[in-house]
Structure 1
Amino acid sequence: MDTEVCDIDNPTNRQLVSTIFFPTSVDRWRCRICAKQRVQVSGKSYTNLIDHLQRPHSDATIDSPYKHILRHGTSIPVVNVPSLAKGIHDWIEWTVMENQPLSLCKTELVRKNTTLPKINPKSLKGHIRALVEVVRSEIKAKLPGQRLGLVFDIWSENWYHFVATFAVVPSKDASDPTEPVESRYMNLDWIPPTSNDVERLFSQAGLVYSDHRQSMHPETLEQLLFLRQNRALWSAVTVAAILNHPRTPEKANVPRSGFTGHVILLLRSSSVGKYAS
């Protein structure tokens, strides 16, 4: 795999090729997603290989293998995403990332102007809940053994109260005890009351939980924000796995968490949900 520093969100063509493909012979490369072999003449950039990624594979399909290999340094099994799974993924992405109501999928004009498969709000909500459980379990497996610092903050909207719990991991800059670490703030008086991550989280919560959507259950709000904050951890591949292997949602108090840069967003119990006063 390419040894240069990889931008996980905006990879270069070279990084995509070296991650998704592996050479089988001179000028021949095999795709880790579909196992198909493509010819790419040395010294001719990566035209054929990038064309293969842009045509047979969608960005959502590529997303999961690329990030998996970057994180774990290992290849993944051949991935095949059915059109139904891709369609459900696109409905979830549209709803979550654009702060749309769950009823979006049943709107007459939306159905008229989209090629996505028909789905009703109840089914969409069920897929969102299942996706939350999968992402939650994945991150739960990453947390044991780490030293965490907890940061709490609250937000209120129309008599509803929400609490966010962030778990901050030590910075890599502080891993060497012999080197002083420059403080992020020159003067403690200038430390903002909440971190940028918390501010962004509550800002999105305010957009989703608007005056026109006060009937939304706090748990639904939590699930939508959870998936938005953890966007890098789910894709059409994840949805396909859920459809192929449905499972019963966990009832225990599972840590609800995700990654935002160097900060882990830890959502426990009723994290961004309603809590009793």
Structure 2
Amino acid sequence: MSSVSTPLSNKLVCRLLFTKKSKDEFVCSTCSKVCKSAHGYTNLIAHLRSNHPTYLEDASQAARNRNALRLRVVDDETRNIFRWCEWVVMDRLPLAFVERKMTRKNASLPSISEKTLKSYLVRVYQSTEARDAEELPPSFGIVLDGSTFNGRHYIAIFAVFDDPTMCHGTPSDDVSEYFDDTDCFTRRFLLLALCPLDVEEDLGAQSLFDLIADTLSRYNKPWEAVTFMVADNCNVNQYIGSREGAITMVGCASHRFNLAVTDFLADHEALLAKIQALMTKLRTIKGRAIFCTALPTLRRFCATTPDGLAPTPWCNATRSSSRHSTRSGMGLSLILNDFEGVTKTLQRSTLTLSGTRRLFNLVIQRYPKLKPRLSATAAIVNYAALETGIVKLQRKEALTPAERAACVDFRRADETPSLQVPPSDLSIVQQAFKKRKTTKRSRYVDVAFIPPTSNEGERFFSSAKLVYSDLRKRLDASTLEMLMYLMYNKDMWDVYTVEALRS
């Protein structure tokens, strides 16, 4: 945070030493002379230089008097522009919102035109993109996901890396009862791009490959800077992860679990069809009304029988099959409750690959039918040695030769152990015979930040659909990317970004 002792800009000097009388007239606070200045501050600065040679010292003193804590001074106009930008971006409002009659009538901020707002948003977007290029470390990973809006397929590319300066949570209080490798609280995401493919007729691997390369060139990062990518286990992504010179791929655990649950429910199609038929009838207005009316009676009658079926004369013939369907439905409901808990756990933004493997191992133990999809060496896994190697690195276990080859990108450049220097006050004999403690250092970097899923992209596209709503289908791809970029990377721009653009 800079102090007011830094050189003041002409705009800030004029704000401190002049009082605005009208749109084009300013009154000097020292001599009370009225000066005209329609555009810029040239006339005002010329008056100060001619009549008040010590105007810089006077402005610094005025700034100190107004700002006793020596905080960074931002003028009201800059702050108002920032508030408009922040309001429109974070609340997902259309740009024309600032020119609506009711907005100007009820908003406490001074009015601003849509053209001015968009010009500042574009400049803030460009400034933030340049800052992101500086924030990216020499090596990082990417997360890919895609979604279709209004007939156009968009690809979102995120950078993910370990940032110890940012903490997104704290470990549980009962750390002694749980493993300490299930969560990473220093994982950081940055949105790099949100755009459709250049050739929409070709949604193959080469088009996605070119998009990744173009995105890296925008941030002045070489291809070798990306050490891994996390994406769905579809054929296109798997081909990118397996071709020569490509990026090693970590498959999305949520996608694998969804496929496993789909395979598991294939044995219950008859029961699910009955439930679907019932819910289809209850979706109608008449069916919903009948159900709500009969629900108290059904609960009272069902409570009078041991098997939960109402004792009506016509139900005896179908009681056996109904009892079987009821029990099967209740058993399936308990299983689906377990699956729901697993799904919600996979949605955690701090979950690690090691935690995912522990979770999948228990699911396989309880439901062996899911093993073909969830095992560490399942056929759907693109690079099993990489994923098992990352898990072992988190748990500080020994790697196999195949895993060492797969995790070569995570090795530290300097593996020299650090030796503790003996105190200089010891004699030469004591220094010769004293044991030197060697600080044991891992040969690999901390890989806990590698996400096990691409759910960050899923959450992002859910938010993007609120911006690209049915009433905003004319929004072009570049504007959509700009708005979503600024909203997702909000911590990368603030009021001082706008101030730097206006100075």
Structure 2 equivalent of residue 189 of structure 1: 374
Alignment of 1:1-277 (within 5 A): 36-37=68-69, 78-145=71-138, 147-170=139-162, 181-182=181-182, 183-185=354-356, 186-187=359-360, 189=374, 195-244=454-503
Task: Work out whether residues 145 and 454 of structure 2, in 8 Å CA contact, stay in contact via their aligned partners in 1.
Answer: no
Alpha-carbon shift at residue 215 of structure 1 (Å):
0.5
C-alpha change, 1:83 and 1:159, in structure 2 (3 Å) is same
Determine the C-alpha separation between the residues in 1 that align with 2:162 and 2:496.
31
Alpha-carbon shift at residue 116 of structure 1 (Å):
1.3
Task: Work out whether residues 103 and 121 of structure 1, in 8 Å CA contact, stay in contact via their aligned partners in 2.
Answer: yes
Partner of 1:151, secondary structure, is strand
C-alpha change, 1:170 and 1:237, in structure 2 (3 Å) is closer
1:138 aligned partner, one-letter code: R
Alpha-carbon shift at residue 161 of structure 1 (Å):
1.2
C-alpha change, 1:167 and 1:112, in structure 2 (3 Å) is same
Structure 2 equivalent of residue 50 of structure 1: none
Task: Work out whether residues 96 and 227 of structure 1, in 8 Å CA contact, stay in contact via their aligned partners in 2.
Answer: yes
Bigger Rg over Cα: 2
Task: Work out whether residues 144 and 156 of structure 2, in 8 Å CA contact, stay in contact via their aligned partners in 1.
Answer: yes
Which ranges in structure 2 are unaligned for 5 or more consecutive residues? Answer: 1-63, 165-179, 183-353, 361-372, 376-380, 382-450
C-alpha change, 1:103 and 1:114, in structure 2 (3 Å) is same
Corresponding residue pairs, total: 167
Runs (4+) off by over 6 Å? 190-193
Task: Work out whether residues 142 and 158 of structure 2, in 8 Å CA contact, stay in contact via their aligned partners in 1.
Answer: yes
Task: Work out whether residues 145 and 458 of structure 2, in 8 Å CA contact, stay in contact via their aligned partners in 1.
Answer: no
Determine the C-alpha separation between the residues in 1 that align with 2:92 and 2:110.
20
Partner of 2:89, secondary structure, is helix
Partner of 2:116, secondary structure, is helix
Determine the C-alpha separation between the residues in 2 that align with 1:237 and 1:118.
21
Alpha-carbon shift at residue 235 of structure 1 (Å):
1.4
Determine the C-alpha separation between the residues in 2 that align with 1:78 and 1:240.
14
Alpha-carbon shift at residue 103 of structure 1 (Å):
0.3
Structure 1 residues 207-262: Cα deviation after superposition (integer angstroms, max 9, x where no partner): 00011101011111111111111111211121111111xxxxxxxxxxxxxxxxxx
Determine the C-alpha separation between the residues in 2 that align with 1:209 and 1:193.
28
Alpha-carbon shift at residue 158 of structure 1 (Å):
1.6
1:163 aligned partner, one-letter code: I
Alpha-carbon shift at residue 196 of structure 1 (Å):
3.3
Partner of 1:154, secondary structure, is strand
Alpha-carbon shift at residue 115 of structure 1 (Å):
2.2
Task: Work out whether residues 92 and 128 of structure 1, in 8 Å CA contact, stay in contact via their aligned partners in 2.
Answer: yes
C-alpha change, 1:117 and 1:161, in structure 2 (3 Å) is same
Structure 2 equivalent of residue 41 of structure 1: none
Structure 1 equivalent of residue 424 of structure 2: none
Determine the C-alpha separation between the residues in 2 that align with 1:117 and 1:148.
43
Determine the C-alpha separation between the residues in 1 that align with 2:181 and 2:452.
22
2:140 aligned partner, one-letter code: L
Determine the C-alpha separation between the residues in 1 that align with 2:464 and 2:125.
17
Determine the C-alpha separation between the residues in 2 that align with 1:171 and 1:133.
23
Determine the C-alpha separation between the residues in 1 that align with 2:83 and 2:487.
13
1:114 aligned partner, one-letter code: A
Task: Work out whether residues 144 and 457 of structure 2, in 8 Å CA contact, stay in contact via their aligned partners in 1.
Answer: no
Determine the C-alpha separation between the residues in 2 that align with 1:194 and 1:95.
30
Structure 1 residues 7-64: Cα deviation after superposition (integer angstroms, max 9, x where no partner): xxxxxxxxxxxxxxxxxxxxxxxxx9x7514xxxxxxxxxxxxxxxxxxxxxxxxxxx
Alpha-carbon shift at residue 156 of structure 1 (Å):
0.3
Determine the C-alpha separation between the residues in 2 that align with 1:214 and 1:126.
21
Task: Work out whether residues 153 and 194 of structure 1, in 8 Å CA contact, stay in contact via their aligned partners in 2.
Answer: no
Partner of 1:184, secondary structure, is helix
Q: CA RMSD in A?
A: 3.0
C-alpha change, 1:189 and 1:78, in structure 2 (3 Å) is same
Determine the C-alpha separation between the residues in 2 that align with 1:237 and 1:151.
30
1:160 aligned partner, one-letter code: R
Partner of 1:155, secondary structure, is strand
Alpha-carbon shift at residue 184 of structure 1 (Å):
2.7
More deviation, 114-123/86-95? 114-123
Q: Comparing both structures, which one devotes a greater share of its residues to helix? A: 2
